[in-house]
Amino acid sequence: MRKVALITDNWKQFMISAWPYGIVDRMRRKGAEGTLYIFNSAGCWSLDESYNRAEYNIMRLADFTKFDAVIADFNNFSVQDEVDEIIDRIKKAGIPAVSLGKEIDGFYYAGVDNYAAMWQVIEHLNEHHGMKRFWGIFADPSNFESAERERAVKDYLDSHNLSYSENDFAHGDFDYQSGVVCYKKLRLTHEGFPDAFICANDNLAISVCEEAAKEGKKVPRDFAVTGFDNFDKASFYTPRITTVENAREDIAYLAMDMILALWRGEKIERKQYIKTELVSQESCGCHGDPFDMNQYLRKQILSGVDTDRYEEELMNMESEVMQCNDAKSVVAVARASLPSFRVEGLCVVIDDHVFDYHDDDGRGEMAAPELMEFNIKGYSSNMHVLYADGCFRGMEGEKAEEDIFKKYLLEKQGEDVLFMPLHFGKYTVGYYVTKSAIPMMLSQRFFEIMRIISRRLEELFRSEKLNYVNVRLENLYKRDTLTGLFNRRGIRIDGEALYRRAIENKDTVLITFTDLDRLKYINDQFGHDYGDLALKGVAESLKSALNSDAIIARTGGDEFVGIEKISGPVDFDSIRERIEDKMIDIGSHGNFAFPYSASTGFVLAKPDGSKSLDEFINDADEKMYIEKQKNHRKTDYLTEMQDDEDE
């Protein structure tokens, strides 16, 4: 089964559904052994370039060497070097590539002959209506389609000796508001009105009509207006807009026909155009064909009903998603909602680092205060499948993106699978995959659903990170900087909490009080660096001898306290022996040239609230003191011998 990759970017926040629909429909009608993999981004609506680049990162998921053809629409991409990189990768893959609506060196081209179609528009205005003075409203000259339409107007004017200046042309975008801005700009820089406004599309044409009406001008009585693309709004607006019939699905059909011909080994023209037709209507002074208002109203009513239902379902889904407290819950809610939006299946691939701060108590080292683990370009090796096939799971072995393409190896002609990016600002954290997504793309709903999911996942991550940082900061206040154990403040907070729970649950508590022997002697004779090493060794010894959930603190220069819940019999000598053995091991590895030992006292208590934690700690301190006296008697002669040698 041959695989076709489709590269496409949303027009602002609207998915361009005509391309995948036309490609898949053509495959099915022609019985072609081909499937479609759609890589869709939305990188042209945000003013944040780093956000847009993160959208375009989804294109790096596509290894073009593993595809049999590429169809690409680069008209809406907002970052040119991203486009250049994609084009370079496609060329290096050495597979047939067709560009939609924009001529690219080395690619085949399928689209509208924008130049010829716009020439027909201005020719009609000049020769049929006798118009000679024109103003133009077009998109930015970097847009290929708009630039070709503008070039046709200027070439026609030049060839017919009709005067104009560059000030007669204003540039913006293809949306209604751009038309408003451009109209006002032209009015401010000109006296009177032209014979006709020539606009790059129907949105711009309608905005001109509306703005002119505010000045008491009427189209076509005072001047003509033309558009392009023949959207529904052109036919149902009053006056109906003179435009160019331009069926976008036909472009997709043509592109797929070109691919099929190339697969058959045929030689084809590198540039091929769909048929266009001038639709002359009321806005230029023509009458045009009558239209069915009842049909239009019926369509509007049904569309309104469908939109209301969708908005309600979307609002309910967003409300549920916002109540989720972890990534799995977010995906589960989204997946449960998708059938009502007519989406088949959902797979979420996510970077493991999204979970770095989840359920972390802040005791470990801070993993990524600046999100440095997340990729900005490409995908990390930490990707795994969070959700697929109706269940949560993780993939092991091969990288997730490789496993994903194996999983979605489509086996029936005309099948499709859609890949969309998941990122937090400029940081890439994963992607979404869904099968048979074209109906959702046609209804313009999928992008908004994915945005809701992404936004909540980012909020949860940042909330967990903030909570982690706060716990970490609080933990730092409670920690002894030398040993990493709790300090006096820590024992007051966490130790007291453990003690209160012991009273409530009637638990038995072991309190350990340890004092490093002869710290002053070590500092004086060998230096404070050795004294610090000796203190760290006591900390390590206590952590190895006491339970893993014990609260251990350095409460003074050479004093240590341990508090832990005990559920069985306690052998004080065994604990003391484990402490001593560990210290002997540490002293040996550290080549300590001094007697290295500690004294420990124990208190086993079942607190009932009649005695405070401090009182029990004091009791353990007294028992430690008794133990220390024994140790001093044992080690005094060693110290004296060492002093004699030093002299």
Q: What is the pLDDT of residue 442?
A: 78
The answer, yes or no, to whether residue 355 has pLDDT greater than 90, is no
Q: Return phi, psi of residue 239, to 5°.
A: -75, 155
Mean pLDDT of 533-540: 96
Query: pTM score, two decimals?
Result: 0.74
In this structure, the number of other CB atoms found within 10 A of the CB of residue 256 comes to: 27
Region 141-154: what's the mean pLDDT? 95
Judged against a pLDDT cut of 70, whether residue 253 lies above it is answered with: yes
- At 55, the pLDDT band (50, 70, 90 cuts) reads very high
Residue 638, pLDDT score? 46
Higher pLDDT, residue 300 or 459: 459
Q: Each residue of 231-241: pLDDT tens digit?
A: 888 888 999 99
* Higher pLDDT among residues 69 and 102, named by residue: 69
Q: What is the pLDDT of residue 44?
A: 85
| pLDDT tens sequence across 454-465 | 999 999 988 888
| Residue 372 dihedral angles phi and psi, to the nearest 5° | -70, -15
Residue 442: phi and psi, rounded to 5, are: -65, -35
416-424 and 224-226 strand pairing: unpaired
Q: What pLDDT band is residue 488 in, cutting at 50, 70 and 90? A: very high
Sign of CA dihedral 80, 137, 159, 123: positive
For residues 131 and 627, give the distance between their C-alpha atoms in angstroms, rounded to a whole number: 111
In the prediction, which pLDDT does 371 show?
46
Judge whether residue 276 has pLDDT over 50: yes
* pLDDT for residue 389: 66
Which residues are CB-neighbours of 29 under 8 A, at least 6 positions away?
Answer: none
Q: Summarize pLDDT for 604-626 with one digit per residue, the tens.
A: 999 998 999 999 999 999 999 99
Residue 38 has pLDDT above 70, yes or no: yes
Residues 174-219 have pLDDT tens digits of: 999 999 999 999 999 999 999 999 999 999 999 999 999 999 999 9
Higher pLDDT, 438 or 303: 438
